[in-house]
């Protein structure tokens, strides 16, 4: 064992003190004793100076420094954290007074590492950066590389992947420049992990294979195990489960040799996920529980969310919903504490699956929408793909068919982008490359090692049995000598016992064979029954099912094929499906289809084919390849559905909608011009002196003018409603001042308000700016003010105000009118329910105004709210964004 120099001197001085203490009778010896005592106290102080940082002078200027600090950090992590932090800060401040920049940096490094152990990653990032700031101009470039890796790891734990990649790249650049081979291997693995969490499997796989190529063929070290685990995770994503299992088991064996408890738990976790994907739920649960038993320690709890999520999925597969929910909830609590957004996103997906199974579709949709938001925040395509795949089902079962179609379309688009043919070729190239041969050689070496260990164990068991037999024989000889008279009887009893054992053993073997045969018979029967059910299902399917050989020649077609095409199965066998080809698709269409199929991916699309009788029809097809155990394509299977009628109905529906929209638009335009003229003429007539003197005529003209204004307002709303439906999904947003639109509409409606002596007051700040379609918002404000006038009594008051938050502006129109019943508020907020009632002066309405408001507010990413109390008035408010949407 190597002791630091200070400790060795301390031991020697203490020993000399004890020796001299025995000879203290003489004065000069006494003086020497006190001198040694003083030196001992000074050395003790020197040792205590950096006792907590534990940085002896012998390692200050070499790379043992990191190892020494990591040992001290682990000790501090399991002790009282507050006391540990206080001591480290005190020693760092002492180093600051001494001007020792390296030890200052070490102090910050240890504080940051303790925050890492606690899962406080934002704080640890700041402390690591402080540590690095003291070394920017120093010679300790290897320490800076370590700090960059630590910062990158902490950033990845809070899903700041772009920033993590920047710091990992800096660390990799330093380690490559300083030829730190192990550091380069580990950094490439960590960069691959970041890309994997982002869903960029192509880039992740590149970094893993680069790391593996740097490891010597015969090295069975932790870096190789780490790389094997990462490559195994890629094989899971590409469906190569056999190779994934092999790489995971190889990694586990290496880690068992190193007796690394944490890494063994990590391998258990990976194997649990593999067996879940393979459908072996019980084995997956077993490995999960092994992993939990290791990770369920204070400093390793941050690794538990993923394991708990997986346990929840296992119990969900077993339809044990309560147990699944408990594990999902445990995962969520730890992930929230650790700010682990990727686990929070996976947790939201899993809860979506749970509520989908329990038919609580709206709750499932909420969780899945949350998962998509988190996936977009952390830029993880896999999260977004998985969430869209499940939310499509949730929307479908909740009868939101349009949303289901959009989610399914988004899923297919992202999936095709993620699993591109280039990525598949890289994986295939690796499978056939020398790297896999190396892995096979290592696997065989380890297999032989296991066999040698097993053979040694068997030999040891045989030796023990032989010893036992020899001891038994000696005992029997001893008994034979003592009890000679009973020799024959003992021998016969032993022979009878032996014969009985053989008979029992034979009976057990016969029974076991019988049970095995019965089990095989049952399995064969079940397989045949399942095959019959599957065959019957295909035969009775409402979709066409066609199976072809690798050249595209038809080998099987179900009865629906004959019903759809007119060709009998006998006529179609041996022929290519191009007999149905109508010629409307270009050759590039079919070329792309075959490229997709031959690369091992599914193809989805539509054909316009020709029946046997010459009639054309449209069908949607999903085609997939069938491979053998070696991955070679042997057949293609197509599931097709005749969608001719469906497309015809959809086209008719679109035509009817267009006609309806055009009709309303024409009506609105044709009414608006004459109504404006009538209104203007009535206002001029009403101001004439001969009319003002005739009270009855003036009253009649006011009624006519009021009706003309009402009809003009209805016409305007009708036109706006038609335009809104014509541009259902578009708005032309710009930045504009809210006060301009509010003042414009107050002036426009002032004459209507004056008829009931109602005050229109605006308190909107003149500098408040919103980002929306200004024309649509003007219509919304006009309708809400007009609505308030309608339901406000004579001499009432209407106030328009606006307030500002971080992301939105809220515009409110409040009156002191008659109010609204609470049960009517949900009806008013339904864009499709045109509810109408008379105003305080029996003003009539159509219900179109509020429907237009709801439609226009939604198009501008806002929300309408209603608060009301009978007899006291109502408050209509809506929100608008203050800036352009984030892409």
- Longest alpha-carbon distance in the chain: 155
Residue 57 has pLDDT above 50, yes or no: no
Give the C-alpha distances (Å, rounded to integers) separating 474 from 483, 496, 679, 814: 14, 21, 128, 108
Determine phi and psi for 376, rounding to 5 degrees: -70, -35
Q: What is the mean pLDDT of residues 364-368?
A: 93
Beta bridge partners of 808: 881
Residue 809 has pLDDT above 60, yes or no: yes
- The confidence score (pLDDT) of residue 388 equals 92
- The confidence score (pLDDT) of residue 501 equals 82
- Quick one: which of 126, 169, 122 has its CA closest to 148? 169
Q: What is the mean pLDDT of residues 63-79?
A: 60
pTM of the model as a whole: 0.42
DSSP codes joined into one string, 176-224: HHTT-HHHHHHHHHHHHHHHHHTT-HHHHHHHHHHHHHTS-TT---HHH
Confidence of residue 591 (pLDDT cuts 50, 70, 90): confident
- Quick one: which of 374, 311, 369, 301 has its CA closest to 337? 301
* Per-residue model confidence as pLDDT tens digits over 373-390: 988 887 777 788 889 999
Q: Worst-scoring range by mean pLDDT, 95-104, 230-239, 305-314, 873-882?
A: 95-104
Rounded to whole angstroms, the Cα distance separating 792 from 499 reads 108
The structure tokens listed for 131 are 């540590």
Say if residues 819 and 873 touch (Cβ distance below 8 Å).
yes
- The confidence score (pLDDT) of residue 9 equals 45
The single-letter DSSP state of residue 3 is: P
Rounded to whole angstroms, the Cα distance separating 456 from 26 reads 68
Q: Worst-scoring range by mean pLDDT, 297-301, 580-584, 628-632?
A: 297-301
Residue 41 has pLDDT above 50, yes or no: no
What is the third-level CATH fold of 727-887? Answer: Heat Shock Protein 90 (3.30.565)
- The confidence score (pLDDT) of residue 61 equals 43
- The confidence score (pLDDT) of residue 46 equals 38
Provide Rg for the chain, Cα atoms.
Answer: 41
Mapped onto helix, strand or coil, the DSSP state of residue 887 is coil
- The confidence score (pLDDT) of residue 123 equals 85
DSSP codes joined into one string, 108-162: HHHHHHHHHHHT-HHHHHHHHHHHHHTSTTSS-HHHHHHHHHHHHHHHHHTT-HH
Rounded to whole angstroms, the Cα distance separating 729 from 421 reads 34
Q: What is the side-by-side order of every strand in the sheet holding 864-869?
A: 759-762, 797-804, 808-815, 873-881, 864-869
Q: What percent of the chain has pLDDT over 90?
A: 18
> In terms of DSSP bridges, do strands 864-869 and 554-557 run parallel, antiparallel, or are they unpaired?
unpaired
| Top-confidence residue, 773 or 884 | 773
* Per-residue model confidence as pLDDT tens digits over 164-195: 999 999 999 988 888 888 889 889 999 998 88
Average pLDDT of the chain is 78
**231 alpha-carbon distance from chain centroid:** 20
Q: What is the mean pLDDT of residues 549-569?
A: 86
The single-letter DSSP state of residue 486 is: G
Residue 2 has pLDDT above 90, yes or no: no
Say if residues 384 and 376 touch (Cβ distance below 8 Å).
yes
The CATH superfamily holding the domain 541-642 is PAS domain (3.30.450.20)
Q: What is the mean pLDDT of residues 360-365?
A: 93
The structure tokens listed for 666 are 């024409």
Say if residues 124 and 116 touch (Cβ distance below 8 Å).
yes
Tell me which residue has tokens 């329990």.
358
Rounded to whole angstroms, the Cα distance separating 785 from 813 reads 7
> In terms of DSSP bridges, do strands 759-762 and 797-804 run parallel, antiparallel, or are they unpaired?
parallel
Residue 617 has pLDDT above 50, yes or no: yes
| Top-confidence residue, 504 or 440 | 504
| Top-confidence residue, 635 or 516 | 635
Determine phi and psi for 140, rounding to 5 degrees: -85, 60
Report which listed range, 198-212, 251-265, 844-858, 861-875, is most confident: 861-875
Residue 27 has pLDDT above 70, yes or no: no
* Per-residue model confidence as pLDDT tens digits over 689-699: 566 666 666 66
The single-letter DSSP state of residue 797 is: E
Rounded to whole angstroms, the Cα distance separating 32 from 36 reads 6
The CATH number given to 66-179 is 1.25.40.10
Q: What is the mean pLDDT of residues 15-19?
A: 49
- Quick one: which of 690, 713, 715, 699 has its CA closest to 755? 699
- The confidence score (pLDDT) of residue 662 equals 65
* Per-residue model confidence as pLDDT tens digits over 310-344: 999 999 999 999 999 999 999 898 888 877 777 88
- The confidence score (pLDDT) of residue 60 equals 43
Q: Worst-scoring range by mean pLDDT, 245-249, 519-523, 671-675?
A: 671-675
Confidence of residue 758 (pLDDT cuts 50, 70, 90): very high
Residue 31 has pLDDT above 80, yes or no: no
| Top-confidence residue, 637 or 142 | 637
Determine phi and psi for 812, rounding to 5 degrees: -125, 140
Domain segments of the chain as ranges:
5-49, 66-179, 486-540, 541-642, 727-887
- The confidence score (pLDDT) of residue 495 equals 77
Q: How many CB atoms lie within 10 A of CB 652?
A: 10
Determine phi and psi for 139, rounding to 5 degrees: -85, -5
Report which listed range, 69-78, 167-176, 377-386, 716-725, is most confident: 167-176
Confidence of residue 68 (pLDDT cuts 50, 70, 90): low
Q: Is the dihedral of CA 505, 506, 507, 513 positive or negative?
A: positive
* Region for 879 from its dihedrals, namely left if φ exceeds 0, alpha if ψ lies in -120 to 50, beta otherwise: beta
Q: Is the dihedral of CA 243, 344, 315, 405 positive or negative?
A: negative
Rounded to whole angstroms, the Cα distance separating 367 from 362 reads 9
Residues 6 or more apart whose CB falls under 8 angstroms from that of 307 comprise: 269, 272, 288, 291, 292, 295
Question: Three-state secondary structure along 843-886?
Answer: CCCCCHHHHHHHHHHHHCCCCEEEEEECCCEEEEEEEEECCCCC
- The confidence score (pLDDT) of residue 446 equals 52
- The confidence score (pLDDT) of residue 241 equals 87
Rounded to whole angstroms, the Cα distance separating 216 from 441 reads 13
- The confidence score (pLDDT) of residue 33 equals 47
Residue 762 has pLDDT above 70, yes or no: yes
The structure tokens listed for 751 are 């004459």
* Per-residue model confidence as pLDDT tens digits over 409-425: 988 888 777 655 456 56
Q: Worst-scoring range by mean pLDDT, 74-88, 142-156, 861-875?
A: 74-88
- The confidence score (pLDDT) of residue 103 equals 80
- The confidence score (pLDDT) of residue 42 equals 44
- The confidence score (pLDDT) of residue 828 equals 85
Rounded to whole angstroms, the Cα distance separating 543 from 614 reads 21
- The confidence score (pLDDT) of residue 730 equals 65
- The confidence score (pLDDT) of residue 26 equals 47
The structure tokens listed for 830 are 């339904």
Rounded to whole angstroms, the Cα distance separating 21 from 779 reads 102
- Quick one: which of 750, 752, 744 has its CA closest to 780? 744
Say if residues 358 and 317 touch (Cβ distance below 8 Å).
no
Rounded to whole angstroms, the Cα distance separating 584 from 607 reads 9
Q: Worst-scoring range by mean pLDDT, 1-15, 251-265, 428-442, 603-617?
A: 1-15
- The confidence score (pLDDT) of residue 91 equals 74
Q: What is the mean pLDDT of residues 221-245?
A: 83
Residue 553 has pLDDT above 70, yes or no: yes
- Quick one: which of 494, 443, 65, 439 has its CA closest to 73? 65
Confidence of residue 218 (pLDDT cuts 50, 70, 90): low
- The confidence score (pLDDT) of residue 376 equals 84
- The confidence score (pLDDT) of residue 5 equals 38
The structure tokens listed for 434 are 């020398």
């Amino acid at each position: 064992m190597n002791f630091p120099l200070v400790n060795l001197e301390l031991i020697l001085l203490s020993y000399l003190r004890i020796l001299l203490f025995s000879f203290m009778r003489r004065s000069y010896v006494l003086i020497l004793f006190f001198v040694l005592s003083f030196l001992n106290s000074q050395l003790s102080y020197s040792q205590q100076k950096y006792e907590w940082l534990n940085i002896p002078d012998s390692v200050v200027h070499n790379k043992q420094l990191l190892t020494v600090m990591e040992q001290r950090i682990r000790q501090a992590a399991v002790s009282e954290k507050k006391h540990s932090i206080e001591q480290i800060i005190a020693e760092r401040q002492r180093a600051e007074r001494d001007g020792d920049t390296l030890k200052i940096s070490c102090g910050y490094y240890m504080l940051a590492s303790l925050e890492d152990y606690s899962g406080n990653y934002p704080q640890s990032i700041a402390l690591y950066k402080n540590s690095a700031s003291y070394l920017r101009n120093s010679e300790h470039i290897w320490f800076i590389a370590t700090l960059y890796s630590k910062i990158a790891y902490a950033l990845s734990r809070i899903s700041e992947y772009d920033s993590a990649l920047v710091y990992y790249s800096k660390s990799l650049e330093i380690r490559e420049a300083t030829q730190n081979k192990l550091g380069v291997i580990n950094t490439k693995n960590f960069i691959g992990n970041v890309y994997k969490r982002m869903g960029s499997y192509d880039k992740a796989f590149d970094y893993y294979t680069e790391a593996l190529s740097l490891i010597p063929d015969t090295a069975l070290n932790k870096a190789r195990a780490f790389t094997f685990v990462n490559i195994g995770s890629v094989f899971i994503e590409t469906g190569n489960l056999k190779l994934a299992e092999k790489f995971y088991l190889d990694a586990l064996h290496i880690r068992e040799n190193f007796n690394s408890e944490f890494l063994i738990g990590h391998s258990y976790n990976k194997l649990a996920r593999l067996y879940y994907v393979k459908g072996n739920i019980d084995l997956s649960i077993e490995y999960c529980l092994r992993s939990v038993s290791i990770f369920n320690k204070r400093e390793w709890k941050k690794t538990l969310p993923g394991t708990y999520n997986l346990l929840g999925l296992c119990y969900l597969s077993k339809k044990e919903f309560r147990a699944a929910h408990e594990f999902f909830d445990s995962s969520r609590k730890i992930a929230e504490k650790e700010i682990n957004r990727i686990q929070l996103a996976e947790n939201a997906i899993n809860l979506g699956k749970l509520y989908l199974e329990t038919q609580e579709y709206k709750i499932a949709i909420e969780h899945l929408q949350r998962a998509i938001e988190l996936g977009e925040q952390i830029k993880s395509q896999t999260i977004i793909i998985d969430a869209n795949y499940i939310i499509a089902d949730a929307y479908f079962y909740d009868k939101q068919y349009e949303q289901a179609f959009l989610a399914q379309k988004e899923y297919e688009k992202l999936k095709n982008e993620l699993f591109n043919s280039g990525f598949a070729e890289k994986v295939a190239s690796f499978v056939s490359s020398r790297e896999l041969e190396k892995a096979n050689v290592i696997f065989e070496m380890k297999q032989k090692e296991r066999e040698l260990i097993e053979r040694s164990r068997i030999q040891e068991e045989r030796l023990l049995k032989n010893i036992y037999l020899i001891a038994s024989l000696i005992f029997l000889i001893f008994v034979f000598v003592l009890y000679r008279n009973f020799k024959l009887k003992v021998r016969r009893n032993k022979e009878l016992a032996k014969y009985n054992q053989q008979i029992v053993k034979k009976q057990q073997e016969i029974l076991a064979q019988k049970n095995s045969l019965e089990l095989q018979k049952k399995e064969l029967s079940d397989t045949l029954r399942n095959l019959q059910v599957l065959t019957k299902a295909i035969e009775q399917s409402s979709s066409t099912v066609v199976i072809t050989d690798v050249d595209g020649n038809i080998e099987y077609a179900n009865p629906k094929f004959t019903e759809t095409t007119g060709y009998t199965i006998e006529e179609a066998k041996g022929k290519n499906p191009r007999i149905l080809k109508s010629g409307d698709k270009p050759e590039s269409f079919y070329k792309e289809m075959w490229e997709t199929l031959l690369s091992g991916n599914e193809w989805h699309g539509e054909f316009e084919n020709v029946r046997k009788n010459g009639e054309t029809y449209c069908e949607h097809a999903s085609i997939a390849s069938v491979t053998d155990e070696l991955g070679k394509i042997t057949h293609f299977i197509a599931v097709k559905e005749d969608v001719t009628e469906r497309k015809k109905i959809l086209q008719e529906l679109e035509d009817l909608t267009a006609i309806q929209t055009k009709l309303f638009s024409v009506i609105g335009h044709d009414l608006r011009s004459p109504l404006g003229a009538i209104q203007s003429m009535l206002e001029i007539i009403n101001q004439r002196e001969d009319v003002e003197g005739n009270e009855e005529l003036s009253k009649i003209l006011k009624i006519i003018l009021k009706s003309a204004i009402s009809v003009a307002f209805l016409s305007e709303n009708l036109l706006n409603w038609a335009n809104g439906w014509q541009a259902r999904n578009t708005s032309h947003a710009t930045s504009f001042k809210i006060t301009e639109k509010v003042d414009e509409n107050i002036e426009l409606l002032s004459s209507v308000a004056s008829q009931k002596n109602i005050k229109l007051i605006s308190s909107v700040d003149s500098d408040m700016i919103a980002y929306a379609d200004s024309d649509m918002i003007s219509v919304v404000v006009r309708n809400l003010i007009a609505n308030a006038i309608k339901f406000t009594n004579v001499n009432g008051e209407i106030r328009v105000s606006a307030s500002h938050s971080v992301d939105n502006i809220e515009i409110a129109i409040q009156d002191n009118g008659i109010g609204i019943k609470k049960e009517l508020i949900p009806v008013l907020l339904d864009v499709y329910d045109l509810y109408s009632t008379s105003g305080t002066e029996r003003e009539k309405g159509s219900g179109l105004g509020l429907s237009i408001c709801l439609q226009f507010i939604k198009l501008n990413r806002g929300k309408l709210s209603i608060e009301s109390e009978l007899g006291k008035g109502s408050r209509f408010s809506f929100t608008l964004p203050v800036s352009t949407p984030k892409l």
